[in-house]
A and B are shown apart, each in its own frame.
Chain A
Amino acid sequence: MKKTLTCLVVAGLLASGSSWAGEIRIGATMRMISENGQKYGQMMQDEFDAINARGGINGNTVELILLNDECKSDKGVANANKFAYQDNVHLIIGSTCSSVSLPIVDVTAQAEVPQIIPHSTNDQITKKDSAWVFRVPISARYYKGVVAKYLHDKVGDQVAYVYASDAAAMSETQGIIQQMRDVYGVEPVYEAQTQEKEIDFRSHLLKIKDLEPDAIYFGGLQEPIARFLVQSYEVGIPASVVRAASSAASNAPVPKLAGDAVQGVFFSAAYSDSDTRPIAQLFNSYVRNRYGIGGVDHDFSQAYDLIRIVEIALGNADLSLEDDDLAADRTAIRDAIANVQGYEGLASGPISFCADSTPQCRDGNRTPVLIQYIEGGEDFKVGILDRVTMPIEFGL
């Protein structure tokens, strides 16, 4: 009986192993705890299914293993290890949150698996000197440049900053403060850090109100941004004080939760729902119809751009997809992504990578868009204030 069982297990393993040939395995770890987060994941799955339905890539099908890391670094690292050593994937996509992507960079560097990042902005991600990491979204080093310039030129230098302790918010906000200090010689009128899940900002806001700043900037995840905006009106900070927020303000829950309090808030992101290019209009109606979304945020566009870039790279990579050639295939995919030049998609500027393991080569998107909320709620409206392609060396 034992022998029969052993034979069955071995046969099963061999069978599953042999089915890997001709299959490109991709592991994706993302934050999929919110309604939107699940839809980003769903879109990724749908797009790869569509590629397979069209005959795959060079005749090879793509198998996507999609896992939820809940924006928790321990889960993200566990997922990445599973992908690298257990599922033997050819490519890892992830993660949504910078605090998760940062430790995954070390895992992929050690396992020598190419990693492509869909949403994280923290500038340290590409400063780890890993030859295996690529970033589709805009780095915080570019965001800080456009936001600081807009604040200085159009709003005023008296700015109060509050930011949560998550990696993306800290990176973006501290970058702007540094930029204001270095380039314009301006110190913040108020600067404070809060805990990641803080729910009550009123003591900060009361102090800020007393300082009568030109603008208040909040760096954080979606829900804290919405809370901060609503509470800023509750404590009586007038509408004449400009409200600005980190790139997470792009996400749909912010205008939905904050309602009218989001009106006039500006932020920098990779994509605007109000983009008038035909490709953007087509994408907006596709996402709205397929996923029932009121307003399309940049996490959808970045996920979509990432899939197209991966499709191009996999199409150009010379893959054997045999188990013995896993390391060679991973290297081929890494090199193929590094060869993607001038990709024109939903991002406001071309996305290009190159071979060096420097941020100049791995921060592919250099064109942030300055966006302002015109209307809040489920069917929010935004307008584009400016679109700037930053110099490749900026912020280094």
Chain B
Amino acid sequence: MLVDFLVVGVSIGLVYAIVALGISLIYSGLDIVHFAHGEFVMFGAFFGLVLVNDSGLNYPISIFLAMIFAGLMGVVVERVFYRRLTSKGGGYTVAGMGMIICGFGMAIILQNIAFLIWGAEGHAINVDFGTPMKIGTVNLPKSYLWILCVSVGLMAILHLFLKNTKAGLAIRAVAANKDIAYLMGINVPLMISLIFGLACGLAAVGGVLIGPINYVQVEMGYLILIKGFAAAVVGGFGSLPGAILGGLMVGIFETLGAGYISGSHKDIYAFLLLIAVLVIMPTGLFGQLAKSKA
């Protein structure tokens, strides 16, 4: 049964990791915590729903398009609503605190927009994954394989993009120090928009991947966001490798806790892990790396 639990833990953990990656990406680039990030998971899932169910597109194309649409939506939200606040600074500045409130407000607005469009009921993304694969005694649903392949693939692409491209270098420069990056001729506002778009696109992928398993509904965002935050904090806020490791740890820890201790208090385990990590390493697992960001 341990292997079964690990399979479930890794599959859900990878979704948390993708969401945590977006949270960390925004934090590392803008020094802000984006509380409306869960709503981009939800919107991504709804985009996937429309693309698969209504437009009849296949699942991988729908994942890709949902990522693009949510990314563009993120850029618009950042440019139109957040820019004035983020340009005044993040972190513990007044604008940074304002940004937190603004994030909560944006989350409510986006939830209500989704409610008006799609209503409050749950929707199933009609993807036929076929029968689960049987490996020994372990049942491996193909939806989990999709989560594994897409998540790992995206993480690899993101890593290569950040390390090997000029835009990636510019993003890292902006994350390290916006003023110096600006003096070096980097278009900082453009890079900030790009960071936001990437992060929201990643969130959307998380939504489309989890959609066929947990259904798509207006309130799905905050449930995943809470775990995504836990993953980001466990890994070290702002650290991208930390977000991935944190996501996997949260997913596995909560599944094992639910399996071997009590399934009725599943959500507690993620936060017990969070507290335990913060007590031992207050900056998270990759806290040292978080200081230099990205």
Give 1 or 0 for each of A213-246: 1 = CB within 8 Å of chain B CB. Answer: 0000000001100110011011110000000000
Which residues between 189 and 229 of chain A lie within 8 Å of chain B, taking CB atoms? Answer: 192-195, 197-204, 206-207, 209-210, 222-223, 226-227
Tell whether A203 pairs with B8 under 8 Å between CB atoms, given A34-B121, A231-B213: yes
Q: Which residues of B contact A198 (CB under 8 A)?
A: 266
Please, how many residues of chain B have a CB less than 8 angstroms from a CB on the other chain? 32
Asked whether, in the complex, the Cβ of A33 is within 8 Å of the Cβ of B258, the reply is no
Q: Are A253 and B122 in contact (CB under 8 A)?
A: yes
Say whether B263 contacts A259, CB under 8 Å: no
**For A233, what are the chain B residues with a Cβ–Cβ distance below 8 Å?**
132
In the complex, the answer to whether B1 meets A207 with C-beta atoms within 8 Å is: yes
Residues 239-264 of chain B, each 1 if its beta carbon lies under 8 Å from chain A, else 0: 00000000000000001001100111
Instruction: Flag whether A182 is at the interface (Cβ < 8 A).
Output: no
Q: Which of A36, A234, A257 contacts B215 (CB 8 A)?
A: A257
A interface size (C-beta, 8 A): 35
Query: Given the interface contacts A192-B264, A199-B220, A200-B266, does A210 sit within 8 Å of B258 by beta carbon?
Result: no
The complex places the Cα of A106 from the Cα of B141 at a distance, in Å, of 48
Contact between B1 and A35 (Cβ–Cβ < 8 Å)?
Answer: no
Contact check, B4 vs A235: say whether CB atoms are below 8 A apart: yes
* Contact B143 A234, beta carbon cutoff 8 Å: yes
Instruction: Check: B219 CB closer than 8 A to any chain A CB.
Output: yes
Cβ contacts under 8 Å, A193 to chain B:
264
Interface membership of B108, Cβ < 8 A = no
Given contacts A34-B120, A231-B213, A234-B213, contact A206 B4 (CB under 8 A): yes
Q: Which of B206-240 contact A (CB under 8 A)?
A: 213-215, 217, 219-220, 223
What CA separation (Å) do A230 and B134 show in the bound complex?
17
Q: Could you tell me if B139 and A197 are in contact, using CB atoms closer than 8 angstroms?
A: no
* Contacts A34-B120, A236-B132 given; does A203 touch B263 at CB 8 Å: yes
Let me know if B12 is at the binding interface, CB within 8 A. Answer: yes
Q: Quick check: is A256 within 8 A (CB to CB) of the other chain?
A: yes
* Contact status of A35 and B119, CB under 8 A, knowing A206-B4, A227-B214, A236-B139: yes
Contact, CB under 8 Å: A206 / B8 = yes
Q: Is chain A's interface secondary structure helix, strand, loop, or mixed overall?
A: helix
Known A199-B220, A203-B255: A194·B263 in contact at CB below 8 Å: yes
User: Could you tell me if B264 and A34 are in contact, using CB atoms closer than 8 angstroms?
Assistant: no
* A226–B223 CA distance with the chains assembled, in angstroms: 18
Which single residue of chain A is at the shortest CB-CB distance from B220? A199
Scan residues 240-272 of chain A and give those whose CB is less than 8 A from a CB of chain B.
Answer: 253, 256-259
- CA–CA, A176 and B214, complex, Å: 27
Answer whether residue B31 sits at the interface, using C-beta atoms and an 8 A cutoff: no
In the complex formed, the residue of B with least CB distance to A38 is: B119
Contact among A192, A199, A203 for B223, CB-based, below 8 A: A199
Min CB gap B228→A, angstroms: 14
Does B214 contact A203, Cβ atoms closer than 8 Å? no
Contact A203 B132 (CB under 8 A): no
Chain B positions 105 through 130: 1 when the CB is less than 8 Å from some CB of chain A, otherwise 0: 00000000000000111111010000
Closest to B8 in A: A202
In the complex, the chain A residue whose C-beta lies closest to that of B118 is A35
A230 to B255, CA, bound (A): 18
Q: Mark B188-221, 1 if CB is under 8 A from A, else 0.
A: 0000000000000000000000000111010110
Give the chain B neighbours of A222 by CB distance below 8 A. Answer: 122
Contact A34 to B219, CB < 8 A, known contacts A203-B258, A206-B259, A236-B139? no
Report whether B134 and A236 are in contact in the complex, using a CB–CB cutoff of 8 Å.
yes
Which of chain A's residues have a CB closer than 8 A to the CB of B259?
A: 203, 206-207
**Bound Cα distance from A204 to B254, whole angstroms:** 12
Partner of B121, one of A35, A204, A207, A259: A35
Residues of B within 8 A of A201 (CB): 263
- Complex Cα distance, B4 from A210, in Å, reads 11
B40 interface residue per 8 A CB criterion:
no
Check A259–B124 contact: CB distance below 8 A. yes
Chain B CB within 10 Å — which of A34, A35, A223 has the most? Answer: A223
- Chain B residues in 8 Å Cβ range of A204: 258, 263
**Cβ distance B17 to chain A, nearest Cβ, rounded Å:** 16
Residues of B within 8 A of A207 (CB): 1, 259, 263
State the Cβ distance, A189 to closest chain B Cβ, in Å: 15
Residue numbers of A with Cβ under 8 A of B are 33-36, 192-195, 197-204, 206-207, 209-210, 222-223, 226-227, 230-231, 233-236, 253, 256-259
Q: Besides the contacts A194-B263, A233-B132, A257-B124, what 12 more A-B pairs have beta carbons closer than 8 Å?
A: A33-B120, A34-B119, A35-B121, A195-B267, A199-B223, A200-B12, A200-B266, A234-B139, A235-B8, A236-B139, A257-B122, A258-B124
A sample of 8 cross-chain residue pairs with beta-carbon separation below 8 angstroms, ordered by A number, consists of A192-B262, A206-B5, A207-B263, A233-B132, A234-B132, A234-B143, A235-B139, A253-B122
List residues of chain B with CB under 8 Å of any chain A CB. 1, 4-5, 8, 12, 119-124, 126, 132, 134, 139, 141, 143, 213-215, 217, 219-220, 223, 255, 258-259, 262-264, 266-267
